[in-house]
């Protein structure tokens, strides 16, 4: 990672990314290798015995998704579930007239694809080059039935996701534009910390429009708020993301 100085003379990380590639980089049907998996410790497959991991590995398939490419679409038969091993995805629901709601972003360690239905109820698109561990849904559920720990971990995961969703409802329903953007920046940064370690530099692989669609705002509003924060030296523009200069101010804006 190259380090350079910006116009203001502040040291910044020139390149920020979410890449944590590992395992084979070949085509679809290749097995994933759990032993070298860098997200294993916090993915749903964590805390499984060596024997169980081996069984899980036998069900796994390595998947690569190019930037701006869908992994699956809302309405598709929900045949697979995935663990993200590197990259980032945008999860969204669409209205008939084109309005979009980005319900979340997935990053390494996240588990996606579960649906109460036989079809996915949201779409998933890769924001950058992304690798995943794919499991056939029915087989995965069968295994989770046999391996107590897995189902339990799955349930803990779902409960956690639900809590995040509820927190986001508060943001969407009761927060002003500036609070929404601040809440997003801080929570995204916090989630990244688990994967990349804590850093003031926050990669934003999603576009402004994606952030706007996540926060129930327009791209103009998001742009204006970020521009103001840059003028006020609360954040710094970094290619591919921002650098948080004044975490305190952001925390004050959210103030919950």
Partner DNA sequence: CGGGTTATTGATGGTGTTCAAGGGGTGTGG
Partner DNA sequence: CCACACCCCTTGAACACCATCAATAACCCG
Query: Phi and psi of 246, rounded to 5°?
Result: -130, 80
Which CB, 125 or 144, lies closer to DNA? 125
Asked if 213 touches a second copy (CB under 8 A), the answer is yes
Which CB, 37 or 215, lies closer to DNA? 215
Q: In what order do the strands lie in the sheet with 60-65?
A: 60-65, 130-136, 80-86, 111-112
Q: Which parts of 157-196 interact with DNA (CB under 7 A)?
A: 176-178
Q: If contact means CB under 5 to 8 A according to the sort of partner, which of DNA, a second copy, none does residue 178 touch? A: DNA
* Total number of residues shown for the chain: 256
Asked if 119 touches a second copy (CB under 8 A), the answer is no
What b/e readout covers 111-149, taking b as 16+ CB neighbours within 10 angstroms?
A: bbbbbeeeebebbbbbbbbbbbbbbebeebeebbeebee
Residue 134 in tokens: 């794919």
Query: Phi and psi of 226, rounded to 5°?
Result: -65, -40
Asked if 217 touches DNA (CB under 7 A), the answer is yes
Q: If contact means CB under 5 to 8 A according to the sort of partner, which of DNA, a second copy, none does residue 177 touch? A: DNA
Residues 6+ apart with CB under 8 A from 147: 48, 52, 55
In angstroms, give the least distance from the CB of 8 to a second copy: 33
Residue 47 in tokens: 């805390």
Q: What one-character-per-residue DSSP string does 40-53 give?
A: TTTSTTTT--HHHH
Asked if 220 touches DNA (CB under 7 A), the answer is yes
Q: Which parts of 174-193 interact with a second copy (CB under 8 A)?
A: 174-175
How far is 153 from 132, CA to CA, in rounded Å? 19
Which CB, 48 or 126, lies closer to DNA? 126
Asked if 170 touches a second copy (CB under 8 A), the answer is yes
Q: Which parts of 37-96 interact with a second copy (CB under 8 A)?
A: 93, 95-96
Asked if 148 touches a second copy (CB under 8 A), the answer is yes
Q: If contact means CB under 5 to 8 A according to the sort of partner, which of DNA, a second copy, none does residue 97 touch? A: a second copy
Asked if 201 touches DNA (CB under 7 A), the answer is no
CA distances from 156 to 44, 137, 141, 151 (A): 9, 18, 15, 9
Name the site residues for DNA (rule: CB under 7 A): 176-178, 207-209, 216-224, 226-227, 237, 239
Name the site residues for a second copy (rule: CB under 8 A): 93, 95-97, 99-101, 103, 114-117, 121-122, 145, 148, 151-152, 154-156, 158-163, 165-170, 172-175, 213-216, 255-256
């Amino acid at each position: 990672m190259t380090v350079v100085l910006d116009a203001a003379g502040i040291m910044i990380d020139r390149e920020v990314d979410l890449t944590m590639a590992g395992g084979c980089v070949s085509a679809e049907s290749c097995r994933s290798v759990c032993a070298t998996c860098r997200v294993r410790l916090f993915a749903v497959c964590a805390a499984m015995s060596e024997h169980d991991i081996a069984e899980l590995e036998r069900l796994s398939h390595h998947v690569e998704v190019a930037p701006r490419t869908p992994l699956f679409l809302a309405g598709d038969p929900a045949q697979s579930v995935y663990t993200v091993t590197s990259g980032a995805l945008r999860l969204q629901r669409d209205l008939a007239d084109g309005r979009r709601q980005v319900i979340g972003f997935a990053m390494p360690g996240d588990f996606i694809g579960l649906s109460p239905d036989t079809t996915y109820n949201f779409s998933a698109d890769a924001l950058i080059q992304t690798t995943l561990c794919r499991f056939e849904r029915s087989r995965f559920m069968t295994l989770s039935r046999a391996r107590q720990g897995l189902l339990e971990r799955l349930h803990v995961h779902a409960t956690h996701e639900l809590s995040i969703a509820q927190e986001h409802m508060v943001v969407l329903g009761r927060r002003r534009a500036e609070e929404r953007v601040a809440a997003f920046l801080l929570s995204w940064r916090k989630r990244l910390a688990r994967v990349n370690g804590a850093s003031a530099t926050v990669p934003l692989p999603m576009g402004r429009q994606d952030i706007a669609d996540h926060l129930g705002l327009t791209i103009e509003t998001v742009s204006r708020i970020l521009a103001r924060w840059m003028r006020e030296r609360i954040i710094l523009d970094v290619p591919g993301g921002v650098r948080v200069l004044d975490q305190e101010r952001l925390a004050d804006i959210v103030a919950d």
